[in-house]
């Protein structure tokens, strides 16, 4: 089973891209902010336990929150400074979480120094077999790495070898199918070294024989660059058509490998583990240098920001600081999103801190943002045509609206991946995904 | 939420007041090229060739009837939606479409009140009672037409299509019977199945006649005379993806297969087949009526089944019923089984059905 590339999946949409706003902006190091506020939960899984008290001095990379279980990831200070009183914030996903504020101290690394400390130097592609799988997984766990594509699942959990379900393929996801976002794109251009080292290490941990980096064909520079960089390794670069939601794990697996993840199942069920390119770079840093995940690349973009950019930002910095560094909001700014316009979450408070899963901040103007006006469903079936999972979104959404859970189940509500294609295409502006989400949250679990 | 945060250094300028940020669910982009209103406008645009063809054949009468029905439908829509306190729903354009299609499905001789009563029934009974746009089970224009066919049977029968010799204002084409009536009459005289040679030599289906059917210089309801105009409209709708291809294909394909089998049975040439395809309302119905999203199934498979059902019923009615033309009944009958089709065609998600969790 080798990758053939240039495959596709059925359904999906082609939203206007607008990546050009920030695609050529080289990743810039954000000047160290006066304060970061680090959430104690940044992933799916158990919250962390705080290890610091007010006034404790901390150094960048020091662990300040201990993992609360196996499916959990510790958090670390992202700047040098002094801890403040624990506080509470609301993340874009509406979760209320404890945050530990850190006020920057004088000795904090910044600028080129910080860049070098994080990504500088050589990233080996050879002799990585010396690292025992167990060691790699432990290093990843200690570094607090979670998926950087958005879902933020603790990465070590995915890579642990599983006797009953062996993994044969590691898929590094560089599709970045969200319109506007370019963080992964810039990383693939500027940082092929750590991505490749990280991919090799992750494959080593998971015992995957095949390694594939999947990229959408709208990123030719990144493709060329990685093709050159993987020479001499066993990694293959596979080019996939540009097609939303190509970056969704299940779609990428389908397109790159022709394997279908069962409904309700995981990539693991078809022998695949998927990691994002940013995650791969973080793995390399954790395993080869013993450094925790303290910074990540964030795209700040959209017509609502003065100067769209890609920034290397410390975890915990506020959205406001990032936006201000990019020249602030323009007069037309109407909606600030955590993430991209297809799956991103609109936020109302710019004090929200950047977490490990924040891939971008998109600021839309009112012209760009989807209108809220909702008309009746005209049963045109467009949502059916675009659903990449092959569902009948209108039926499910209406069943959810009227709380007809039996009907929602009969139409396979559980299989929805919440990609938003249906709501994007709906001519009547019906908030289909929102209804699905609501339905999933409310559907009474089968009693027995 | 947080302690007062010092303004970032050096960011001297910037927002005097916090901008108003709208919190809304994802996705935050929409496909502005395709709104409900735009889809309705698309249908109207796709009807332009048909309207032009109908004007060419029936002259001023066609414009009057079409304008009257569109205005009447919009007026009734406005009136009923106001009564229901639903605001002005005519802006969605669906009433205008209903009016245009209703008008185009009437015979050229229908008096003005037929159009108005048809509109009243189409909007008031077929649509609003069910809850307005998107809720109706039956195609409003066809319900309106069915009602006037029955209520005004005298002026709406097959004879309504043929001008009596006394009508001096009648266009040339309408002095003949409609293609489907002509076919029926012709087929009745010889015993069809046993006289293959006779069927093939009927004057109504020579090549010249097929050509006229194609371009539209024949009698029929206002919108159904020109096959060429319908095909043009179909191409536009398919390019704009306003109509799905499954329904027209299913309908025309099935009709073609049945007509082809009849052809074989009767030993006729391909003209008979083309006569069935180009004559009557089959194409008009397949392109503009059966494709009504509201009253057709949701899934591609369902749409194919629906289209095939319409096509088969049209042929059945043409061959066996007393009505010369069956599109209206075929569509209405198939409308009534749409909920069933939807239920039969629930697709299995890619990756198989969701496992039932305990
Ligand atoms: S796309 Fe919108 S209007 Fe069309 S069937 Fe789906 S929900 Fe209804
Ligand atoms: S139903 Fe779910 S999976 Fe299908 S298009 Fe809508 S959001 Fe995507």
Position B174 scores a pLDDT of 62
pLDDT in tens, B202-227: 444 567 777 777 776 676 778 787 88
Angle (deg, nearest 10), helices B227-239 and B36-58: 170
SS3 assignment for chain B: CCCCCCCCCCCCCCCCCCCCCCCCCCCCCCCCCCCHHHHHHHHHHHHHHHHHHHHHHHCHHHHHHHHHHHHHHHHHHHHHHHHCCCCCHHHHCHHHHHHHHHHHCCCCCCCHHHHHHHHHHHHHHHHHCCCCCCCCCCCHHHHHHHHHHHHCHHHHCHHHHCCCCCCCCCCHHHHCCCHHHHHHHHHHCCCCCCCHHHHHCCHHHCHHHHHHHHHCCCCCCCCCCCHHHHHHHHHHHHHCCCCCCHHHHHHHHHHHHHHHHHHHHHCCCHHHHHHHHHCCCHHHHHHHHCCCCCCCCCCHHHHHHHHHHHHHHHHHHHHHCCCCCCHHHHHHHHHHHHHHHHHHCCCCCCCCCCCCCC
The Cα of A48 is separated from the nearest Cα of chain B by a number of Å equal to 20
Helix (H, G, I), strand (E, B) or coil at A287: helix
Long-range Cβ contact pairs of A110-116 (< 8 A, separation 24 or more)? A110/A29, A110/A31, A110/A32, A111/A29, A111/A31, A112/A29, A114/A29, A114/A32, A114/A295, A114/A312, A115/A29, A115/A312
Average pLDDT over residues B107-129: 88
Beta bridge pairs of residue A215? A174, A239
* pLDDT over 90 (residue A360): yes
Residue with tokens 């008290």: A53
Which of B131, B70, B92, B29 is CA-nearest to residue A16?
A: B29
CB atoms near residue B211 (< 10 Å): 12
* pLDDT over 80 (residue A334): yes
* pLDDT over 80 (residue B331): yes
Question: Would you give the DSSP letter of residue A37?
Answer: E
Q: B297 and A381 in contact by Cβ < 8 A?
A: yes
Chain B, residues 213-252, CB within 8 A of chain A, namely 241, 244
Which residue from A395, A424, A448 is facing B31, i.e. has the nearest CB?
Answer: A424
The Cα of B18 is separated from the nearest Cα of chain A by a number of Å equal to 10
Residue with tokens 């990032």: A322
Helix (H, G, I), strand (E, B) or coil at A329: strand
Q: B132 and A376 in contact by Cβ < 8 A?
A: yes
Please tell me if the CB atom of residue A161 comes closer than 6 angstroms to any atom of ligand 1: no
* pLDDT over 60 (residue A387): yes
Q: A89 and B299 in contact by Cβ < 8 A?
A: no
Question: Would you give the DSSP letter of residue A384?
Answer: H
The Cα of A385 is separated from the nearest Cα of chain B by a number of Å equal to 8
Position B182 scores a pLDDT of 64
Q: A389 and B8 in contact by Cβ < 8 A?
A: no
In contact, A119 and A111? CB cutoff 8 Å: no
Task: Name the percent of chain B lying above pLDDT 90.
Answer: 30
Which of A216, A290, A240 is CA-nearest to residue A61?
A: A290
pLDDT in tens, A101-127: 999 988 777 888 899 989 988 898 888
Q: A335 and B38 in contact by Cβ < 8 A?
A: no
Structure tokens at B113: 């009140």
Residue A86 near chain B (CB below 8 Å): no
Judged by its nearest atom, the ligand closest to the C-alpha of residue A251 is 2
In contact, A262 and A31? CB cutoff 8 Å: no
Position B169 scores a pLDDT of 61
Please tell me if the CB atom of residue A88 comes closer than 6 angstroms to any atom of ligand 1: no
Of the spans A307-311, B29-33, B344-348, which averages the highest pLDDT? Answer: A307-311
Q: How far apart are CA A192 and CA B88, in angstroms?
A: 58
Please tell me if the CB atom of residue A100 comes closer than 6 angstroms to any atom of ligand 2: no
In contact, A169 and A252? CB cutoff 8 Å: no
CB atoms near residue B194 (< 10 Å): 9
Helix (H, G, I), strand (E, B) or coil at A251: helix
Q: What number of residues does chain B have?
A: 358
Position B15 scores a pLDDT of 43
pLDDT in tens, B34-58: 788 888 999 999 999 999 888 888 8
Q: B30 and A10 in contact by Cβ < 8 A?
A: no
How confident is the prediction for chain A on average, in pLDDT?
Answer: 89
Shortest-distance Cα residue to atom 7 of ligand 1: A394
Residue B92 near chain A (CB below 8 Å): yes
Residue A315 near chain B (CB below 8 Å): no
Position B191 scores a pLDDT of 38
Query: How many whole angstroms from A388 Cα to the centroid of ligand 2?
Result: 7
Beta bridge pairs of residue A39? A99
Position B6 scores a pLDDT of 38
* pLDDT over 60 (residue A5): no
Element (H, E) at A253: helix A249-257
Position B217 scores a pLDDT of 67
Which residue from A362, A378, A392 is facing B294, i.e. has the nearest CB?
Answer: A378
Mutate to test the pocket of ligand 2, among A177, A392, A417, A423 (most ligand atoms within 8 A of CB): A417
* pLDDT over 70 (residue B201): no
Closest ligand 2 atom to the C-alpha of A245? 8
Average pLDDT over residues B198-203: 41
Judged by its nearest atom, the ligand closest to the C-alpha of residue A411 is 2
Position A70 scores a pLDDT of 84
Which of B77, B69, B74, B158 is CA-nearest to residue B118?
A: B69
Chain B, residues 15-44, CB within 8 A of chain A, namely 15, 18-31, 34-36, 38-39
Please tell me if the CB atom of residue A382 comes closer than 6 angstroms to any atom of ligand 1: yes
Question: Would you give the DSSP letter of residue A35?
Answer: E
Which residue from A90, A347, A390 is facing B347, i.e. has the nearest CB?
Answer: A390
Position B9 scores a pLDDT of 39
In contact, A73 and A140? CB cutoff 8 Å: no
Q: Which residues of A touch B349 (CB under 8 A)?
A: 263, 389-391, 412, 415
Q: How far apart are CA B99 and CA B71, in angstroms?
A: 7
Which residue from A335, A347, A380 is facing B293, i.e. has the nearest CB?
Answer: A380
Structure tokens at A192: 């092929």
Confidence of residue A445 (pLDDT cuts 50, 70, 90): low
Shortest-distance Cα residue to atom 7 of ligand 2: A418
Confidence of residue B304 (pLDDT cuts 50, 70, 90): very high
Average pLDDT over residues A48-71: 89
pLDDT in tens, A195-237: 999 999 999 999 999 999 999 999 999 999 999 999 989 999 9
Query: How many whole angstroms from A14 Cα to the centroid of ligand 2?
Result: 14
Position B176 scores a pLDDT of 63
pLDDT in tens, B137-149: 999 999 999 998 8
Q: Are strands A96-104 and A28-29 parallel, antiparallel or unpaired?
A: unpaired
Position B298 scores a pLDDT of 93
Mention every residue, 6+ apart, whose C-beta is less than 8 A from residue B197.
Answer: B267
ipTM of the prediction greater than 0.85, yes or no: no
Q: How far apart are CA B167 and CA B208, in angstroms?
A: 26
Q: Which residues of B touch A87 (CB under 8 A)?
A: 1-3
Closest residue on chain B to A425 (Cα): B31
In contact, A416 and A436? CB cutoff 8 Å: yes
Chain A, residues 175-194, CB within 8 A of chain B, namely 179
CB atoms near residue B316 (< 10 Å): 14
Average pLDDT over residues A319-339: 91
Which of B94, B65, B64 is CA-nearest to residue B77?
A: B94
Angle (deg, nearest 10), helices B94-104 and B112-120: 140
Judged by its nearest atom, the ligand closest to the C-alpha of residue A421 is 2
Please tell me if the CB atom of residue A361 comes closer than 6 angstroms to any atom of ligand 1: no
Please tell me if the CB atom of residue A146 comes closer than 6 angstroms to any atom of ligand 2: no
Please tell me if the CB atom of residue A427 comes closer than 6 angstroms to any atom of ligand 1: yes
Compute φ and ψ for B299, nearest 5 degrees: -95, 155
Which of A248, A214, A218, A264 is CA-nearest to residue A388?
A: A248
Which of A296, A283, A291 is CA-nearest to residue A136?
A: A283
The mean-pLDDT minimum among A158-162, A253-257, A431-435, B287-291 falls in A158-162
Position B190 scores a pLDDT of 42
Q: How far apart are CA A253 and CA A242, in angstroms?
A: 15
Question: What is the model's pTM?
Answer: 0.84
Confidence of residue A176 (pLDDT cuts 50, 70, 90): very high
> Which is higher by pLDDT, A93 or A298?
A298
How confident is the prediction for chain B on average, in pLDDT?
Answer: 79
Confidence of residue A11 (pLDDT cuts 50, 70, 90): confident
Structure tokens at B187: 């087929």
Cα angle vertex B195, ends B190, B198, to 5°? 65
Confidence of residue B160 (pLDDT cuts 50, 70, 90): low
Q: B39 and A448 in contact by Cβ < 8 A?
A: no
Question: Would you give the DSSP letter of residue A354?
Answer: P
Helix (H, G, I), strand (E, B) or coil at A352: coil
Question: Would you give the DSSP letter of residue A288?
Answer: H
Confidence of residue B170 (pLDDT cuts 50, 70, 90): low
Q: What number of residues does chain A have?
A: 448
């Amino acid at each position: 089973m080798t990758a053939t590339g240039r495959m596709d999946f059925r359904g999906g949409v082609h939203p206007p891209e607008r990546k050009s706003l920030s695609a050529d902006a080289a990743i810039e190091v954000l000047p160290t902010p006066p304060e970061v506020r680090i959430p104690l939960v940044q992933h799916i899984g158990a919250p962390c336990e705080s290890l610091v008290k007010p006034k404790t001095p901390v150094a960048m990379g020091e662990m300040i929150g201990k993992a609360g279980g196996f499916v959990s990831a510790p958090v670390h200070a992202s700047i040098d400074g002094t801890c403040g009183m624990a506080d509470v914030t609301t993340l874009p996903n509406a979760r209320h979480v404890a945050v530990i504020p850190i006020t920057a101290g004088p000795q904090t690394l910044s600028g080129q120094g910080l860049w070098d400390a994080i990504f500088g130097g050589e990233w080996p592609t050879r002799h990585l077999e010396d690292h025992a799988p167990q060691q790699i997984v432990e290093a990843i766990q200690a570094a607090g790495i979670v998926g950087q594509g958005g879902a933020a699942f603790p990465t070590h959990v995915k890579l642990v070898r599983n006797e009953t379900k062996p993994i044969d393929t590691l898929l590094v996801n560089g599709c970045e199918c969200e319109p506007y976002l370019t963080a992964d794109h810039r990383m693939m251009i500027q940082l092929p070294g750590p991505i490749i080292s990280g991919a090799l290490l992750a494959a080593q941990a998971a015992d995957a024989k095949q390694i594939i980096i999947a990229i959408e064909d709208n990123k030719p520079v990144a493709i060329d660059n990685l093709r050159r960089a993987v020479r001499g390794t066993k990694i293959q670069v596979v080019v996939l058509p540009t097609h939303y939601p190509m970056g969704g794990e299940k779609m990428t697996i389908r397109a790159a490998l022709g394997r279908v993840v069962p409904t309700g199942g995981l990539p693991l069920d078809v022998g695949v583990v998927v990691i994002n390119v940013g995650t791969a770079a973080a793995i390399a840093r954790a395993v080869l240098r013993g450094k925790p995940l303290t910074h990540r690349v964030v795209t700040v973009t959209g017509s609502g920001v003065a100067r769209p950019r890609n920034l290397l930002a410390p975890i915990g910095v506020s959205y406001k600081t990032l936006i201000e560094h990019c020249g602030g909001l323009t007069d037309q700014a109407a909606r600030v999103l955590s993430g991209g316009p297809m799956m991103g979450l609109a936020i109302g408070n710019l004090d929200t801190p950047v977490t490990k899963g924040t891939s971008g901040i998109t600021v839309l103007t009112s012209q760009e943002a989807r209108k809220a006006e909702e008309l009746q469903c005209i049963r045109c079936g467009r949502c059916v045509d675009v659903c990449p999972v092959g569902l009948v979104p209108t039926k499910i959404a209406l069943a959810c609206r009227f709380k007809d859970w039996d009907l929602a189940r009969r139409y396979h509500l559980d299989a929805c991946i919440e990609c938003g294609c249906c709501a994007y295409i709906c001519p009547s502006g019906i908030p289909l995904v929102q209804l699905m989400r609501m339905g999933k949250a409310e559907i009474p679990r089968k009693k027995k | 939420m947080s302690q007062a945060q010092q303004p970032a250094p050096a960011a001297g300028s910037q927002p005097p007041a916090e901008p108003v940020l709208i919190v809304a669910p994802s996705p935050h982009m929409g496909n502005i090229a395709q709104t409900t209103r735009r889809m309705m406008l698309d249908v109207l645009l796709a009807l332009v060739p048909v309207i032009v063809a109908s004007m060419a054949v029936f002259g001023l009468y066609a414009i009057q009837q079409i304008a009257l029905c569109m205005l009447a439908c919009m007026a009734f829509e406005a009136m009923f939606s106001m009564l229901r306190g639903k605001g002005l729903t005519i802006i969605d354009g669906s009433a205008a479409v209903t009016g245009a299609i209703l008008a185009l499905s009437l015979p050229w001789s229908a008096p003005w009140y037929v159009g108005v009563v048809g509109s009243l029934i189409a909007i008031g009974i077929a649509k609003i009672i069910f809850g307005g746009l998107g809720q109706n089970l039956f195609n409003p224009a066809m319900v309106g037409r069915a009602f006037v066919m029955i209520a005004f049977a005298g002026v709406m029968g097959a004879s309504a299509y043929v001008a009596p010799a006394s009508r001096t204002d009648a266009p040339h084409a309408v002095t003949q019977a409609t293609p489907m009536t002509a076919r029926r009459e012709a087929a009745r005289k010889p015993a069809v199945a046993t006289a293959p040679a006779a069927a093939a030599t009927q004057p109504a289906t020579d090549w010249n006649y097929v050509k006229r059917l194609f371009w539209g210089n024949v009698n029929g309801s206002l919108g159904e005379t020109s096959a060429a105009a319908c095909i043009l409209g179909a191409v536009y709708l398919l390019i704009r993806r306003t109509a799905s291809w499954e329904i027209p294909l299913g309908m025309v394909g099935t009709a073609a297969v049945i007509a082809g089998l009849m052809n074989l049975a009767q030993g006729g040439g391909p003209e008979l087949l083309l006569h069935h395809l180009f004559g009557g309302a089959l194409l008009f119905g397949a392109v503009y009526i059966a494709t009504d999203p509201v009253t057709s199934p949701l899934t591609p498979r369902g749409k194919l089944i629906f289209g095939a059902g319409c096509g088969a019923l049209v042929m059945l009615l043409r061959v066996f019923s007393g009505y010369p033309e069956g599109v209206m009944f075929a569509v209405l009958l198939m409308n009534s089984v749409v909920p069933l089709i939807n239920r039969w065609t629930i697709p299995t998600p890619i990756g198989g059905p969701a496992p039932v969790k305990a």
